[in-house]
Structure 1
Amino acid sequence: MSDPTRPRASLRTAVVWEVLQDALDRRVKATGRDSLDVLDTGGGSGNFAVPLARLGHRVTVVDPSPNALFALERRAAEAGVADRVKGVQGDAHGLFDVVERGGYDAVLCHGVLEYVDDPAEGVRNAVAALRSEGVLSVLAAGLGGAVLARALAGHFTEARQALRDPDGRWGTGDPVPRRFTAEQLTALVESAGLRVGAVHGVRVFADLVPGVLVDTEPGALDALLKLEAAAAELPAFHSVATQLHVLGETTDPAQA
């Protein structure tokens, strides 16, 4: 995913960024601390970690790729937040080989569940990394968005295959190992013991609109961002979103 601070890239991240910032602001208020400890599993080169560090939070990124972690280190240094970003090599399966249990106010699990052998274990590990009161942000590929994209491209057989396949794959050439419905993701989060605070569809329209239109038509980017935000919370659009975002919380924010 792209840096949520860059305008064109915000089409892919704006909804998630807004929900995440609001959740972290509530945690800051509840804890009385100016900054939080955030764990970003599969955080790669820091697309979310570095902006979070700019807000003053301390972020640990766990990723299996040395190259991604090198890019993270460089990006954090360029942003002037190297002291608040730490990268460690590891994965969701062996998470507690590299980080402590119960040590984080928030855990990001973005683009991870599609690739792990056991998504339920991945979510359980993410929850186990939370403190007694915390927030889990899950972002994963949506089944409906892939089906719609294949159909609109004229690949009708592949679209039907994705619907039938238990992992939501459209064929052997599909680069994504697994996709989810909103119901599947919320069930994973609830089964791990969290309350689902919000579900959002991400990139409902952005991947279907020609890029040249967004880049050249005056006001198009802002209008599309507002449209994405308006549709994100509506369950009717979850079924066609490219990605799905689920926010899980260990406490009722009204009581925090």
Structure 2
Amino acid sequence: MYPTRPRSALRTAVVWEVVRAALEKRVAELDQPVLDVVDTGGGTGNFAVPVTSLGHRVTVVDPSPDALFALERRAAEAGVTDLVRAVQGDTQTLPDLVAPGTVDAVLCHGVLEVVDDPAEALGSLAGTLRRGGFVSLLAANRNGAVLARALGGHFDDARAVLGATDGRWGPSDPMPRRFTGDELDRLAAGAGLRVESVHGVRVFADLVPGVLVDTEPGALDALLKLEEAAAGQPAFHAVATQLHLLATLG
């Protein structure tokens, strides 16, 4: 099961499969069927609700009351209200919202790009984990942005991203921050986490014209399979729009 509709699955399928497998592994390690999961910045429940469909308890921490309202409605429609807890907050307030060492898994998708201090934020997330728990970390890839801007004819932007410490092309860039794989590795290590796997996300999906996927019979499934096949190969990480790290607390 993918946590989104088929077209959007191009952007989420790789991450979902890694998370699902990691949850199954954690269940087997602990020999207990229900895990405690925190989804920081989880918004409307794009991942949280599918995780509850596996039987796990999920606390979604998000600063937007509107997103949390949508989450509660979505959870009600899915019949998993008893497994979802919606809490308004962010990584800075997380220590006051979730007790240390009480969580089996943390989902941190698209969060480090927007926080004031990525190292502090990831440290707060790691602090909620039980020993052996994991963080699913998804972040914008600087190198992928270089390729995307260049292919779009924005050559000055592409060159700016290459040299910018924050991976932005300038004031008009809507993304507050991007990372390289090495930077994410260092952030994980600084939070006491051990990186178990790295996957490239949206290696081809953002580069292939949408008309090809939407009009060619079978193209969507074929592209999805290609994304899944390339995601784990390091050679393709440099061109992915996002990087996904699975890291455990040793």
TM-score norm. by structure 2 comes to 0.97
2:180 counterpart residue number: 181
User: Which amino acid is 1:84 matched to?
Assistant: L
User: Which amino acid is 1:178 matched to?
Assistant: R
Question: 1:84-139 CA deviation, whole Å, 9 max, x = no partner?
Answer: 01110000112112221111100011110000111001111111010122011100
1:224 matches 2:223: yes
Q: Displacement, 1:4?
A: 2.4
User: Which amino acid is 2:81 matched to?
Assistant: A
Structure 2 gap ranges (5+): none
Structure 1 gap ranges (5+): 252-256
Between 1:144-153 and 1:81-90, the stretch displaced more is 144-153
DSSP-derived class of the 2:239 partner: coil
DSSP-derived class of the 1:8 partner: helix
Distance in 1, matches of 2:98 and 2:128, equals 8
1:248 matches 2:250: no
1:139 matches 2:138: yes
1:166 counterpart residue number: 165
2:199 counterpart residue number: 200
Question: 1:194-244 CA deviation, whole Å, 9 max, x = no partner?
Answer: 211000000000001111211221111111111111111111111111000
Q: Displacement, 1:250?
A: 2.4
Question: 1:153-178 CA deviation, whole Å, 9 max, x = no partner?
Answer: 11100111111110000111111110
DSSP-derived class of the 1:9 partner: helix
1:4 matches 2:12: no
DSSP-derived class of the 2:38 partner: strand
Matches within 5 A, 1:94-109: 94-109=93-108
DSSP-derived class of the 2:176 partner: coil
2:60 counterpart residue number: 61
Displaced runs of 4 or more, over 6 A: none
2:18 counterpart residue number: 19
Cα-Cα RMSD = 1.0
